């Protein structure tokens, strides 16, 4: 079976499984102004390494996202794709 790096952006955790998740704010290190506080040059940082290895992002209740955080998430994902692929 092929293993996929998965980050689910939702407030869920399923004990006894590999399923766990956090909010988009926490996943991408966003502050109240939607600026990421992660230093993406530090590829050994756990959160940065997880984002670099990301192959599938699950976003629960995407209809609740506002345009600002949606734009920030998609911008960061485009940067990751251009740098790390």
**18 or 23: which leads in pLDDT:** 23
Strand partners, 30: 36
Number of H helices, E strands in the chain: 3, 3
At 63 the pLDDT is: 78
Question: pLDDT at residue 56 above 80?
Answer: no
Q: Whole-prediction pTM value?
A: 0.66
CA dist 18 → 4, 14, 58, 82 (Å): 11, 7, 14, 28
6, 46 Cβ separation under 8 angstroms = no
The domain locations on the chain are 6-84
Q: pLDDT tens-digit profile of 22-52?
A: 788 888 888 888 888 989 889 899 888 888 8
Cα–Cα dist 1/74, whole Å? 29
Q: What is the DSSP letter of 52?
A: H
């Amino acid at each position: 079976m092929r293993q996929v790096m998965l980050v689910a952006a939702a407030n869920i955790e399923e004990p006894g499984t590999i399923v766990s998740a956090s909010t988009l704010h926490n996943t991408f290190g966003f502050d109240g102004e939607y600026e990421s506080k992660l230093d993406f040059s530090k590829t050994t940082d756990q959160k940065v390494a997880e984002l670099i290895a990301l192959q599938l992002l699950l976003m629960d209740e995407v209809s609740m996202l506002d345009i600002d955080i949606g734009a920030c998430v998609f911008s960061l994902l485009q940067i990751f794709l251009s740098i790390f692929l």
